[in-house]
Structure 1
């Protein structure tokens, strides 16, 4: 489903109270040490340092260089959401059919900065969700190895209202919480 959205420029609504991502970020793991101890989280980094605007004839275009927002390569993270089952054994994670971050919310209010399930972003910017898997030491006190996985198709523009009508239609078609908007 992410590919369908990415093809036209995924947009995610951000609100003061926080809005859940759709599509959600769902993963499956393999290759972990069954006896190892792991935490899994999603963080969100800037995809670039531009502000964007939506032009109906051409789509999303860079409007200006943003206020010193750093590139994703610089690993500037705007927030993170640890999975509620973290930390847990590799055996546990690999036995999960799906590891879902369906409760992750996006907000534009700094009041939510410390909430564990809410990430604060700026509108009209492009972001990249990242999966972060950390293996912990035997005492579970410090990570000894961390892998960051990026799926480019999950990049999105943060908006306060949808700009592209095609995105609105896809969200209504696929989001089970948008039943009221269907014909």
Structure 2
């Protein structure tokens, strides 16, 4: 089982990690991609995490005779998501080396510029500027950056995909194994 968790996790991690690294390094040297960047990033995460569904279904149909309970399926999916998330974090950290750590400052400036363009008051701008300065300081700490990247970006998607996969596949009538004669 551990071998399968690692195999599917590494596959998912590479599917999400390679584009993340490539986008981080090549797209305007780390400048914020805005809403489209987030859409592309989360779409790639969902595509990568289809391996969770495939792995749970394969475990149910091949290894467990067509039946799996919710909690074991959920745990299996979460373990795969965790391995993929670790590769995601490593890919981001590698990309940060090429971006000379300018991401946080660029993100903070883009956030301030967007608020200014939306007509934020001076008090709102001062409060937002203080928050962005705190963010830049916090993001400079590798432990905080790694935790933020894993738990705020990847983990919620992995959790959701694992929940949905476990909920659907616990029903043995949902996409039953095809019997070949």
Please confirm whether the aligned pair reaches a TM-score higher than 0.5, indicating the same fold: no
More strand by share: 1
Give the structure with higher Rg (CA): 2
Pairwise TM-score range, normalised by the shorter structure: under 0.3
More helix by share: 2
TM norm structure 1: 0.27
TM norm structure 2: 0.27
